[in-house]
Amino acid sequence: MLSDGRFPGLQVVAGCPSFPEQKVPVEFLGAGSPLTVARAASDLAKYLLAAPYSLYPKPGHRHGKPYRAGFRKTSVFVRFGSRMKLPGTEFGYCVTGGSLQPAKWDLEFMADGPTFDEHFRDHLLELFQWRRDVRRFADVPVSENLLKGLIAQAALAPSVGNSQPWRFVKVGDPDRRNRIIEDFQHCNKEALDDYQGEQARIYASLKLSGLRDAPVHLAVFADTETSVGHGLGQRTMPETLKFSVVGAINHLWLAARAHGVGVGWVSILNPDNVGKILDVPEGWSLIAYLCVGYPEEEHLDPELVRADWQQRLDVSDLILER
C-alpha cells in the first residue's frame, strides 16, 4: 500500500478527488483489466485514472514540473500536464492512480524536466556575463553552510563514467596558507622573468591572486586513482578525468556568483608543492586552487581586459566548419 514516506513532498489521500461539477470532454487512451486510462481534454485535469488513491503535492512543497505515474506490473504510464490548477484546491498538480487490487500494484513517480523560460535564460546569460575571476575580497566571512551548498552544487557536474573524481580541500591552517602564498610568490617571480618590455610592466602591475584577503582557500584535486566509474570512457582519453573536475569547478563558480560570492582561480603555483603542503593522498592531482569570498568590487569586464593584457576574441573566429 502507499505511504507518505515513499514519496517525499507528497501526501496520500484515500478516495478520488472531488472536482466541481463541470462537463469535461474525455478521450479514452486505453483500457485493460483491471486498469482504465482516460484523458480529460481540459485544463481542469489532463489525465485521470480510476483509482482508490489520490496523490497531491504537500502545501509549501515546490514541484517544478508534473510527474509521470507508472504501474510496474501493467506497463501503463500516465503523464499529466504542466501548470494544471485544480479549482477549489491550493495544489497545482494532481495524480489519481490505482487498480481493483491496490495491494498488488506499485506506483512510482519520475519528475519531468523543468521548463526554462525566456526570463530564466536572460538571467542565466547575465550570470555568465557577470562571472569574474575575483582577486579583491571584502573582509566578510563566507558561512560554512553556504560553502557546503556550493560544493554540493559543484558535485552535480557531469563526469566521465560518472567517476566523480573531484576532491575538495578547505585550507584553514595559517601555516599551510602561508606556505601556499610563498609558493605563489616564487612562481610569480619566475613567470615575470619570462616577459620583457611592456608586457613585463603590465604583468608586474597585475593583481594575480587574492590569497592574502580571501576568507576561504579551497584546493580542488582530481583523484586519478579512483575506481569509481570503472574506467569507463578513459581508455582512449584519460585526461577526461581531470576535465570532469574542471566542469565541477565551473559549476561551483557560477553557483557562487549566483549567491554574490566571488571565486578566483590561482594557477601560478607548483602543483606538486601544493599537494605536499596540504598532505593529500597519493594519486590526487591539483586542478585548481580557489580563493572564495565576497568581492570588494564588481566589474562586468575581466580585469585582464581592463589592464589591456588580452581582449576577448570574436566567437565567430573560433568556429571551424567541415
Do 35 and 184 lie in one domain? The reply is no
102: which DSSP letter? G
Cα 173 to Cα 93, 147, 188, 217, 270, distances in angstroms: 51, 17, 22, 10, 19
Choosing from 111, 138, 156, the residue where a domain stops is 111
At 58, list the grid cell: 504537500
> For residue 270, is pLDDT > 60?
yes
Q: Is the pTM higher than 0.75?
A: no
- What pLDDT is recorded for position 58? 39
Residue 7 predicted with pLDDT over 50: no
Name the nearest CA neighbour of 265 among 211, 213, 221.
211
Spatial separation of the C-alpha atoms in residues 106 and 298, rounded to whole Å = 53
Least trusted range by pLDDT, from 55-64, 200-209, 238-247, 260-269: 55-64
CATH code at position 277: 3.40.109.10
**Band of pLDDT at residue 300, cut at 50, 70 and 90:** very high
Q: Let me know whether 24 and 149 are in one domain.
A: no
Helices (H), 18-168: 118-130, 144-154
Instruction: Calculate what percentage of the chain has a pLDDT beyond 90.
Output: 64
* Domain boundary pick from 44, 76, 111: 111
Name the strand (E) or helix (H) holding 285.
strand 284-293
Give the domain range for residue 105.
Answer: 4-111
- Is the separation of the CB atoms in 296 and 271 below 8 Å? no
69 and 158 co-located in one domain: no
Query: Between residues 217 and 14, which one has the greater pLDDT?
Result: 217
C-alpha cell at 141: 566571512
Higher pLDDT, 16 or 210: 210
Q: Residue 115 — pLDDT band, cuts 50, 70, 90?
A: confident
Amino acid at 195: Y
What is the SS3 assignment for 57? strand
Query: Given this model, what pLDDT does residue 114 score?
Result: 81
Q: Which residue has the higher pLDDT, 27 or 134?
A: 134
Closest CA to 167 of 25, 85, 282, 43: 282
Kindly tell me if the per-residue pLDDT of 193 is higher than 70. yes
One domain for residues 58 and 134: no
CA distance 271 to 288: 9
- 124/107 same-domain check: no
154 & 67 share domain: no
Last residue of a domain, one of 63, 87, 111: 111
Q: What is the pLDDT of residues 146-190, one digit of tens each?
A: 999 999 999 999 999 999 999 999 999 999 999 999 999 999 999
296 pLDDT band, cuts 50/70/90, is very high
- The one-letter amino acid code at 315 reads V
Return the top range by mean pLDDT from 11-15, 27-31, 104-108, 277-281.
277-281
Which has more pLDDT, 47 or 228? 228
pLDDT per residue as tens digits for the range 47-98: 333 333 333 333 444 443 333 333 332 222 333 333 333 333 333 333 333 3
Judged against a pLDDT cut of 90, whether residue 251 lies above it is answered with yes
- Same domain as 124, residue 101: no
pLDDT at 112: 55
The verdict on 34 and 124 lying in the same domain is no
Q: Are residues 152 and 76 in the same domain?
A: no
Same-domain status, 140 and 46: no
Tell me if 210 sits within 8 A of 181, measured CB to CB. Answer: no
Question: Can you read off the three cell numbers belonging to residue 75?
Answer: 506497463
Mean pLDDT of 245-265: 98
Provide the pLDDT for residue 129.
Answer: 96
Based on the fold, state whether residues 176 and 152 are members of the same structural domain: yes
* pLDDT at residue 255 is higher than 70: yes
Region label for 60, one of left (φ > 0), alpha (ψ between -120 and 50) or beta (otherwise): left
What is d(CA 9, CA 57) in angstroms, rounded to the nearest whole number? 6
**Average pLDDT of the residues in 220-237:** 97
Burial class (CB in 10 A: 0-12, 13-18, 19+), 155: middle
Residue 311 scores a pLDDT above 60: yes
Assess contact for 183 and 270: CB atoms under 8 A: yes
Task: Look at the chain and report how many structural domains it folds into.
Answer: 2
**Same domain for 287 and 146:** yes
> To the nearest 5 percent, what fractions of the chain are helix, strand and coil?
30, 25, 45
Residue bearing the bigger pLDDT, 99 or 129: 129
